[in-house]
């Protein structure tokens, strides 16, 4: 199966009432772990690469590795997505390379740190949407700013510093025509999201529900959605790591989100924890080993286990064969004719 439009993948998820995990990758083993989980659970999936990943791996490697995944597993609908594009040029280069979907994160300026103005965000996102939709490529935008910093990306601070204003979300969707919208509801990237199990005072599911009521056709995206399970933290600490106690986003809150318009759920940290714990265990228990396969194999298996669990929890499991992927021409035609227009004024 060729790479699939993320828009089609999320439209199908909306029809089926489930969410789709979008998992970050930097290398071959992570791609294999995700595909292993998708095959195991019969799930459609989004594989995404950040700017940091594109630099780390050289994005042409990532592109061809993901293509290999699509080639090896034609039964799995697979979208290839740019995570947190910081400028029009970054998104354009991903599209030209062959990504089927891009995120224009205009909530921050191109430095990836300073919050932008609403007008700046609308302007750059609209420009990416025009360029992308002409080519049948999906666009995710972001309104509001997540907490934390990952790999130099992020405004820092708490997840509550720039929570999304629902009225602005509606205006943003209307003026940009994005296919999917990331919103800030109190989460942060990375392992340190909450200092205790989050309740409604720090994880603003009420805002998400309000936005979905106003924007029923726009697919909502939850970033910073790792659950940071205690068992994964414990493995790292047991084998010489030093993670401080921390809480992530409980799966039941994500499931509440899915019942209220969340179609894409971004997970990276949980997989990083699983990989690191597995490698530490091999190093600690068998220090005589030095063949990378001796620790990369358990690391890949540990990540596959986490991804398969999330696929089941998000509800995408079992849905890989529900639909035939549309060709790029049909997607382009859908955007041209207005059939794929999500703007609130066009979908009433």
Select from 171, 93, 194, 102 the least CA-distant residue to 139.
102
Grouping H, G, I as helix, E, B as strand and the rest as coil, residue 164 is coil
Look at residues 105, 94, 77 and name the one whose alpha carbon lies nearest to residue 7.
77
Tokens of 227: 């659950």
Choose among ligand 13P, ligand G3H, Zn ion, none what residue 85 binds, the Cβ cut-off being 5 to 8 Å by kind: none
Instruction: Name the segment binding ligand 13P (CB under 6 A); options: 131-139, 154-162, 267-275, 325-333.
Output: 267-275
Position of minimal CB gap to ligand G3H: 151
What is the DSSP secondary-structure string of 61-84?
HHHHHHHHHHHH-TTS-EEEEEEE
Q: Which is nearer to ligand G3H, 31 or 53 (CB)?
A: 53
User: If we measure between CA atoms, which residue out of 141, 83, 134 comes closest to residue 116?
Assistant: 141
Within residues 80-99, the interface with ligand 13P by CB under 6 A covers 83-84
Give just the sign of the alpha carbon dihedral 255, 256, 261, 265: negative
Minimal distance, residue 42 CB to ligand G3H, in Å:
26
226 binds ligand 13P (CB under 6 A): yes
Q: Encoding tokens for residue 243?
A: 């993670």
Q: Which residues sit at the interface with ligand G3H, rule CB under 6 A?
A: 24, 50, 52-53, 83-84, 150-151, 153, 189, 268
Task: Write down the catalytic residue from 11, 83, 165, 270.
Answer: 83
d(CA 194, CA 251): 14
- Cβ closer to ligand G3H: 53 or 340? 53
Helix (H) or strand (E) holding 310: helix 292-314
- Using the minimum distance from each CB to ligand G3H, give the nearer residue, 12 or 268: 268
Q: Which residues pair with 262 in a beta bridge?
A: 220
Q: Fill in the per-residue mask, 228 to 267: x = in contact with Zn ion (CB under 5 A), - = not in contact.
A: --------------------------------------x-
Two structure tokens written together for 120: 């700046």
253 binds ligand 13P (CB under 6 A): no
Q: Which is nearer to Zn ion, 81 or 133 (CB)?
A: 81
Using alpha carbons only, what angle is made at residue 90 by residues 310 and 145, rounded to the nearest 5 degrees? 55
Coil, strand or helix at 100:
coil
267 binds ligand 13P (CB under 6 A): yes
Q: Which is nearer to Zn ion, 51 or 212 (CB)?
A: 51
Annotation says 199 is catalytic: no
- Nearest alpha-carbon partner for 171 in 126, 128, 223, 127: 126
Instruction: Establish if 276 lies at the interface with ligand 13P (CB under 6 A).
Output: no
**Distance (Å, whole) CA 205 – CA 227:** 15
- Between residues 29 and 140, which has the closer beta carbon with respect to ligand 13P? 140
Residue 163 CA to residue 310 CA, distance in Å, equals 25
Q: Which of 283, 323, 275 is nearest to 301 (CA)?
A: 275
Task: Note the residue count of the chain.
Answer: 348
Q: How far is the CB of 334 from Zn ion (least distance, A)?
A: 27
Q: Which residue of 212, 219, 223, 264 would you call a contact of Zn ion, by CB under 5 A?
A: 223
Task: Give percent helix, percent strand, percent coil of the chain, each to the nearest 5.
Answer: 45, 15, 40
- Residue from 269, 276, 304, 316 touching ligand 13P (CB under 6 A): that is 269
Q: Is 268 in the site for ligand 13P (CB under 6 A)?
A: yes
x/- contact string, 29-68, with ligand 13P (CB under 6 A)?
A: ----------------------------------------
Q: Which residues bind ligand 13P (CB under 6 A)?
A: 24, 83-84, 189-190, 223-226, 266-269
Enumerate binding residues for Zn ion (CB under 5 A): 223, 266
Residues annotated as part of the active site: 83
């Amino acid at each position: 199966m060729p790479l699939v439009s993320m828009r089609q993948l999320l439209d199908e998820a909306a029809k089926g009432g489930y969410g789709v995990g979008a998992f970050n990758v930097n290398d071959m083993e992570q791609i294999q772990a995700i595909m292993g989980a998708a095959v195991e659970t019969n799930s459609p999936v989004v594989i995404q690469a950040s700017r940091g990943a594109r630099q780390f791996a050289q994005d042409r490697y990532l592109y061809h590795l993901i293509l290999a995944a699509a080639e090896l597993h034609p039964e799995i609908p697979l979208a290839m997505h740019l995570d947190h594009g910081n400028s029009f040029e970054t998104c354009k280069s991903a599209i030209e390379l062959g990504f089927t979907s891009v995120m224009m994160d205009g909530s921050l300026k191109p430095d990836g740190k300073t919050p932008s103005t609403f007008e700046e965000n609308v302007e750059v996102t609209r420009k990416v949407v025009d360029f992308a939709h002409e080519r049948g490529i999906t666009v995710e935008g972001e309104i509001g700013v997540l907490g934390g910093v990952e790999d130099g990306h992020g405004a820092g601070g708490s997840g509550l510093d720039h929570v999304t204003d629902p009225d602005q979300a509606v205006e943003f969707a209307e003026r940009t025509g994005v296919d999917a919208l990331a919103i800030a509801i109190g989460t942060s990237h990375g392992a340190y999201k909450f200092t205790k199990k989050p309740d409604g005072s720090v994880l603003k599911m009420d805002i998400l529900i309000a936005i979905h009521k106003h924007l029923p056709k726009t697919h909502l995206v939850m970033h910073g959605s790792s659950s940071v399970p205690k068992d994964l933290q414990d493995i790292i600490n047991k084998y010489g790591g030093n993670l401080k106690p921390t809480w992530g986003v409980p799966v039941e809150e994500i499931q509440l989100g899915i019942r209220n318009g969340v179609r894409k759920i971004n997970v990276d940290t949980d997989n990083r924890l699983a990989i690191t714990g597995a490698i530490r265990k091999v190093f600690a228990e068998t220090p005589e080993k030095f063949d990378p396969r001796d620790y990369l194999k358990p690391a890949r298996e540990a990540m596959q286990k986490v991804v398969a669990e999330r696929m089941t929890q998000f509800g995408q499991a079992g849905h890989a064969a529900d639909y035939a992927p549309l060709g790029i021409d049909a997607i382009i035609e859908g955007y041209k004719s207005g059939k794929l227009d999500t703007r609130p004024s066009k979908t009433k």
